[in-house]
Each structure stands twice: as C-alpha cells, then as structure tokens.
Amino acid sequence: MKETKTAIFAGGCFWCMVKPFDEQPGIRGIVSGYTGGTEEDAVYERVKTGTTNHREAVEIVYEPDVFPYEKLLELYWQQVDPTDDGGQFFDRGPQYRTAVFYQDEEQRQLAAASREALDKNGPFHEPVVTEILPARPFYPAEEHHQKFYKKNPDAYQKEREESGREDFLKHTWQEKSYE
C-alpha cells in the first residue's frame, strides 16, 4: 500500500473545492468540512454564522509520490482569489476566507514558498493574503455537503457561475486547466 498524506485547504464554498481535486491521480479521498476554529463538533448551522472561527475547507488524502504537495498547492491557487481577505466571491465572512492548513514543517515551507512565488509572479495586481496556518482539528461536514457536485450537478454549476468563481477562474487562469 502506498504512503498517503493529508492536505487541508480553505477556499470559500467547500462545494466548489472538491471537484478539481477529486478525480486527480493519486487522490485517495476528499472530505468537505470545517477547521481552524476552537469549537468542537462544528456543524454547518453554526459555522455559516461566521462566529465559530471555523472555515469551510476540504481535507484531501493523497499519495505524495503520485500527486505531490507542490502540485496540490498549484491546483489550489487556481481555485481561489487569494487576494480577497473578506471571503470568496459572493460568499462573504471569515468562514469563507482562504487558508492553507499545514500538517508539518515541510508543508509549511512548501506552502510559504508557493504563496511567495504566486505573489511575486502570479496574475494578481493585489497582494496574496491567503493565510498559512497550522492544522487544527477537522470536522467533516454533514453528508449532504459531501461530493455535492456529483449529487447536485445543476446546483453545483449554478453556484460556480452565480458566485462569480467560474468567470474569475477562467479569466485569471486562461492558459491553465483548473478542472
């Protein structure tokens, strides 16, 4: 059995963060959930109020020899507006802010270097404000939030389009595939 590691990324609406990673080679699993706060047993009804300090996030189990962390980071940046400190697209509030939650020193260093390179050489005119934070307990979201893009493909696509995410990503990453 191949070695696996875990990565955690907050990128606004977790519905929109699953599909780009879900079917990549070396991805063993992806779970929508909540992390970053101090409340135990986070649930959507409390997290969505923005008062728990939790963020919507995805936890990805991956095979580093097939899909290395650096590649996960590259794909992550192509899913978000890392210059927006108030949330993501039409989802506003601290629960929708971007963050990379590192599991160990190697992930911290790779995330910091990746963010610095994006800030220096990326397509953005504003500074990259995505935080790089130590991983905290991760609480899986309720079952109806898991793999939302497969369970509700029309609602998923509508969310991506109406939020402004789809247009932003297409415009920002024209030369790259992000799904």
Would the CA dihedral through 151, 28, 53, 96 be positive or negative? negative
**Residue 129 is part of a domain; what is its CATH number?**
3.30.1060.10
22 closest CA partner among 41, 37, 9, 36:
9
In a domain, 116, yes or no: yes
pLDDT at 179: 39
* pLDDT higher than 60, residue 177: no
Is 16 an annotated catalytic residue? Answer: no
Angle of CA points 160, 162, 168, to nearest 5°: 60
pLDDT at 174: 76
Higher pLDDT, 40 or 129: 129
| Total structural domains within the chain | 1
Residue at 44: amino acid letter: Y
* pLDDT higher than 80, residue 122: yes
Q: Please report which residue ranges of the chain form alpha helices under DSSP H.
A: 15-22, 44-47, 69-77, 105-121, 148-151, 153-163, 165-172
Q: Are 72 and 28 in contact (CB under 8 A)?
A: no
Per DSSP, 141 falls in state P
- C-alpha 9/C-alpha 7 separation (Å) is 7
User: Of 7, 8, 10, 13, which is the active-site residue?
Assistant: 13
* pLDDT digits 0-9 by tens, 5-18: 999 999 999 999 99
pLDDT band at 138 (very low <50, low <70, confident <90, very high): very high
pLDDT at 1: 67
* pLDDT digits 0-9 by tens, 47-105: 999 999 999 999 999 999 999 999 999 999 999 999 999 999 999 999 999 999 999 99
* pLDDT digits 0-9 by tens, 94-110: 999 999 999 999 999 99
Per DSSP, 104 falls in state S
What is the mean predicted confidence (pLDDT) over 154-165? 94
In a domain, 177, yes or no: no
User: Counting beta carbons within 10 angstroms of the beta carbon of residue 170, is it exposed (0 to 12), middle (13 to 18) or buried (19 or more)?
Assistant: exposed
Residue numbers of the domain that contains 127: 5-172
